[in-house]
Amino acid sequence: MSFFKKHLFICTNQRPEGQPACNSRNDDTLFSFIKKLARELGADAAGVRISKAGCLGRCEHAPMLVIYPEAVWYTFIDEEDLEEIIRRHLLCDERVERLLVA
């Protein structure tokens, strides 16, 4: 049995200039945003954990995150996308189809 109900891993990997990378801007702005929003929305109390990850191996779709135990992969562009993933997937068990990566 899993310790967390859901575990989101967000790639923060960096690569040399010109190569696709999840953290091409070399900052933690989006990671900080998603952690803060999840806390504000009560994700911790709902059994959700959000962690940084190194390379998830899906650089062609960067930036990437994956949610376990479902193994659902998402790409995202901005804070609005991340908020939608938190609200719909993590808290309501509803996949955000437009951001899914097969």
- Spatial distance between the Cα atoms of 28 and 10, rounded to a whole number of angstroms: 11
- How sure is the predictor about 94, in pLDDT bands with cuts at 50, 70 and 90? very high
Question: Apex CA 26: angle with CA 47 and CA 74, to 5°?
Answer: 45
Q: Report phi then psi at 65, rounded to 5.
A: -145, 155
Q: Beta strand pairing status for 6-11 and 48-53?
A: parallel
CATH code 3.90.550.10 for 6-99:
no
Residue bearing tokens 């189809």: 97
Is the pLDDT confidence value at 17 over 60?
Answer: yes
Is the pLDDT confidence value at 1 over 60?
Answer: no
Is the pLDDT confidence value at 26 over 70?
Answer: no
Task: Name the pTM for this structure.
Answer: 0.90
**Predicted local distance difference test score (pLDDT) of residue 24:** 67
Contact criterion met (CB below 8 Å) for 27 and 21:
no
% of the chain surpassing 90 pLDDT: 69
**Predicted local distance difference test score (pLDDT) of residue 100:** 98
